[in-house]
Amino acid sequence: MLDEPFSALDAFLRENMQIELLRIMSEYDGDTILVTHNRDEVYKLCENLLIMEGGRAEARGKTSEVFSDPTTVTAARITGCKNFSEIKRLSEHRLFATDWGIELETAKRIEAEHTHVGVRAHDFSRERSAGISAQNEIAIIAETVIVSPFERTVLFRVANGSGGARGTIQWMCDRNEDVSNTDRLFLNADDILLLTSALHL
């Protein structure tokens, strides 16, 4: 049982200890329970994941599968998703994101229980993909640019949003990417997360 084992370590020591723990676990013939709030630790170290909220299970399964399809708003937030909006279902694969004031097309079928949409900040692209999946073009107005050591975060709002749009959206890209003239972004339909407000297991 490991309860936040890396919380008091600096980044360099934390990464080295994670590598050492992976080595130890590979030689240990048993189960290990890791309690953490760090999504990177979970993804590196855990084959299976259980997300708890208020003492109840929100999501469980293979770690990669939970990250890919977190199911609930809480699970998506804990796995690193930064952008959320409530939705109105327009058709099986079309929704209106009320907080952003835009329509989006989804790859997955929108069910009656879906109340929110989530988009990970890294999933926006400056170019339209040549893939088969439908693309969503979003006209943007950048409001703030935050530069980190390895990435750049752009806080933007939808330029032509309707229906009282008020939400700010985060786009994360490489630190060296020139974002100064970006006035539109594209979102692959496969990258849109369809979520429920809660799903206690």
Could you tell me where the DSSP H helices lie in the chain? 11-27, 39-45, 63-68, 73-78
- Selection from 147, 136, 135, 134 nearest residue 178 by Cα: 147
Distances (CA, A) of 109 to 85, 175, 186, 189: 17, 35, 20, 11
Cβ-Cβ contacts under 8 Å for 180 (sequence gap 6 or more): none
Tell me the average pLDDT across 81-98: 95
The span from the CA of 127 to the CA of 125, in Å, is 5
> What's the pLDDT score for residue 128?
83
Q: Is 191 helix (H, G, I), strand (E, B) or coil?
A: helix
Most confident by average pLDDT, 45-59, 106-120, 163-177: 106-120
Q: Is 3 helix (H, G, I), strand (E, B) or coil?
A: strand
Residue 201 has pLDDT above 50, yes or no: no
Tell me the average pLDDT across 15-22: 94
Q: Tell me what percent of the residues of the chain surpass a pLDDT of 90.
A: 77
- Selection from 34, 72, 31 nearest residue 53 by Cα: 72
Residue 44 has pLDDT above 60, yes or no: yes
- Selection from 68, 93, 97 nearest residue 81 by Cα: 68
> What's the pLDDT score for residue 135?
76
Residue 96 has pLDDT above 70, yes or no: yes
pLDDT in tens, 49-74: 999 988 888 899 999 999 999 999 99
Tell me the average pLDDT across 97-102: 92
pTM above 0.75, yes or no: yes
Residue 165 has pLDDT above 80, yes or no: no
